[in-house]
A and B are shown apart, each in its own frame.
Chain A
Amino acid sequence: RKEVEQDPGPFNVPEGATVAFNCTYSNSASQSFFWYRQDCRKEPKLLMSVYSSGNEDGRFTAQLNRASQYISLLIRDSKLSDSATYLCAVKRGSYIPTFGRGTSLIVHP
């Protein structure tokens, strides 16, 4: 089993829709969790860290479920500009984060 797994998608949704994707991790000792956004042929950019209590940033909500070992990203009121690949990253202590392969989101008019 891979350390970090994501459904590659693509998730194809209309503008204004709510979409959510999960990222599962295999190491229960993982401590830090992140969502990154990567546009085509660009570098990943940190979207948000994921805190134990869950956190929200505008239309984006991230949650952590330690019991089931997954993190989620919810996007409300999708915009065309949200089309991108969303990578999750999982980290143990000072270890280097491990990235999932990403979930592709396509928002259409």
Chain B
Amino acid sequence: GAVVSQHPSWVICKSGTSVKIECRSLDFQATTMFWYRQFPKQSLMLMATSNEGSKATYEQGVEKDKFLINHASLTLSTLTVTSAHPEDSSFYICSARASGRAGEQYFGPGTRLTVT
């Protein structure tokens, strides 16, 4: 199946700092990538849809100025959590949809963010 990588896999940062998470599709081109957040024992919550070369579409309740998304190429999307606070601590997962594979999403391994 298609491979999606994320970096870093885990990060601990101090409150007020910014953290960048990278999502890459390794063996296919992804015009669309998705960013999810998952709190313990909760479902995946879609944060935003990232389209290559255009602005991301954010879900209701997600602050676009706090969660900056850049999809600069067909294989890379980045999520920057700006001025992180402890309540931003969560598991952030990206996924990518490959062309021609309707309905199937391939997830990255996730990034565990802890803000102290």
Contacts and interface: CB of A to CB of B under 8 A. Distances in A.
A43 B43 contact: no
Contact of B107 (A32, A43, A102): A43
Contact of A99 (B44, B104, B109): B44
Nearest to A2: B43
A25 interface: no
Contacts of B67: none
Which of B43, B46, B102, B108 has most chain A Cβ within 10 Å?
Answer: B43
A32 B93 contact: no
Interface string A60-92: 000000000000000000000000000100010
Interface of A: 4, 8, 32, 34, 41-46, 49, 87, 91, 94, 96-97, 99-102
Interface of B: 1, 34, 41-44, 46, 49, 91, 93, 102-110, 112
17 contacts: A8-B41, A32-B102, A41-B110, A43-B109, A43-B110, A44-B44, A44-B93, A44-B107, A46-B104, A46-B106, A49-B103, A87-B43, A87-B44, A96-B46, A97-B103, A97-B105, A102-B43
